Amino acid sequence: MHPLLNDQRDIRVAQRPGRVTARELESVDQLLLILPERARAETWRAVPGGAKLAAAAKRRAASDVPTLVSRLDNKRQTLVVGGQIGASASAFERLEFGRKLVTVATAEKSGALAICALGFDEHSAAAIARDVMSAALAAAFTLPAYRSKASKPAIRSIRLLGLAETLDLSRVTAEASGNNLARWLTAMPPNKLDAANYADIVRDLAADHGWQFKRFGTKALDNLGAGAFLAVAQGNQNDSASIVRLRYRPGSTDTNADLSLVGKGIIFDTGGTNLKPFQSMLEMHGDMQGSAVALGTLLAISNMGLPIAVDCWLAITENRTGPEAYKAQDVVTAANGKTIQTIHTDAEGRMALADTLVLASREDPRLILDYATLTGSCINAITKRFSGVFTNRPEWHPRLKRTGQGCGERVWPFPIGDEFLEALKSETADIMQCSPKNVGDHILAGSFLAEFVENDTPWVHMDLSAGHHEGGLAHVPSKITGFGVRYTMSLLLDEDILGSESE
The tens digit of pLDDT for each residue in 114-145 reads 999 999 999 999 999 999 999 999 999 989 98
Predicted confidence at residue 37, as pLDDT, reads 85
CATH superfamily for 175-493 is Zn peptidases (3.40.630.10)
Within the chain, all domains assigned CATH 3.40.220.10 are found at: 3-167
Q: What is the DSSP string of 317-344?
A: EEE--STTS--TT-EEE-TTS-EEE---
More confident residue, 37 or 53: 37
Residue by residue, DSSP assigns 373-432 as ---HHHHHHHTTSSEEEEES-GGGHHHHHHHHHHHS--EEE---SHHHHGGG--SSSSEE
What is the separation of C-alpha 198 from the centre of its chain, rounded to a whole number of angstroms?
18
Measured CA to CA, the distance from residue 116 to residue 128 in angstroms comes to: 9
Question: What is the average per-residue pLDDT within 456-465?
Answer: 98
Note the pLDDT of residue 53. Answer: 73
More confident residue, 489 or 10: 489
Q: What is the mean pLDDT of the chain?
A: 92
Strands of the sheet containing 68-71, edge to edge, are 12-16, 155-161, 111-117, 30-35, 79-84, 68-71
* Mean pLDDT (whole number) for 248-273: 93
CA distances 331 to 14, 224, 328, 430, 450, Å, are: 58, 17, 9, 10, 19
Residue type at 163 in one-letter notation = L
pLDDT of 368-414, one tens digit each? 999 999 999 999 999 999 999 999 999 999 999 999 999 999 999 99
| pLDDT tier for residue 502 given thresholds of 50, 70 and 90 | very low
Least confident interval from 105-119, 159-173, 307-321, 351-365: 105-119
In 389-427, which positions are buried (b, 16+ CB within 10 angstroms) versus exposed (e)?
bbbbeeebbebbbbbbebbbbbbbbbebeeebbebbeee
Enzyme catalytic residues: 276, 350
pLDDT above 60 (res 1): no
How many residues can be counted in the chain? 503
pLDDT tens-digit series, residues 189-228: 999 999 999 999 999 999 999 999 999 999 999 999 999 9
**Predicted local confidence at residue 270, as pLDDT:** 96
CATH (one of 3.30.10.20, 3.40.220.10, 3.40.50.720, 3.40.50.970) for 3-167: 3.40.220.10
Assess contact for 314 and 295: CB atoms under 8 A.
yes
Q: pLDDT (tens digit, 9 = 90+) per residue, 147-183?
A: 887 777 779 999 999 898 899 999 999 999 999 999 9
pLDDT tens for residues 279-295? 999 999 999 999 999 99
- Mode of pairing for the β-strands spanning 367-372 and 259-269: parallel
Sorting pLDDT into bands at 50, 70 and 90, what band is 501?
very low
Mean pLDDT within 343-372: 98
Q: How many CB atoms lie within 10 A of CB 458?
A: 17
β-strand partners of 31:
80, 114
The percentage of residues in the chain with a pLDDT greater than 90, rounded to a whole number, is 80
- What does the pLDDT read at residue 61? 56
Bridge partners for 389 per DSSP: 413, 462
Q: pLDDT category, 503, cuts 50, 70, 90?
A: very low
pLDDT for residue 6 is more than 50 = no
State the span(s) of the chain assigned CATH 3.40.630.10. Answer: 175-493
C-alpha torsion angle, residues 290, 469, 304, 313 (rounded to 10): 0
Does 8 score more than 70 pLDDT?
A: no
Question: What distance in Å separates the CA atoms of residue 114 and residue 424, rounded to the nearest whole number?
Answer: 55
Element (H or E) spanning 168, and its range?
Answer: none
Tell me whether strands 212-216 and 242-248 are parallel, antiparallel or unpaired. antiparallel
For residue 327, which phi and psi values (nearest 5 degrees)? Answer: -135, 165
> Percent of the chain scored above 70 by pLDDT?
95
What's the whole-model pTM score? 0.95
Residue range 70-115, pLDDT digits in tens: 888 899 999 999 888 999 999 999 999 999 999 999 888 778 999 9
**C-alpha–C-alpha distance, residues 207 and 150, integer Å:** 29
- Cβ neighbors of 9 (< 8 A, separation 6 or more) are 142, 153
What mean pLDDT is predicted for residues 429-434? 98
Per-residue model confidence (pLDDT) at position 7:
47
CA nearest neighbour of 403 among 503, 488, 479: 488
Q: CA-CA distance, 231 to 331, in Å (whole number)?
A: 9
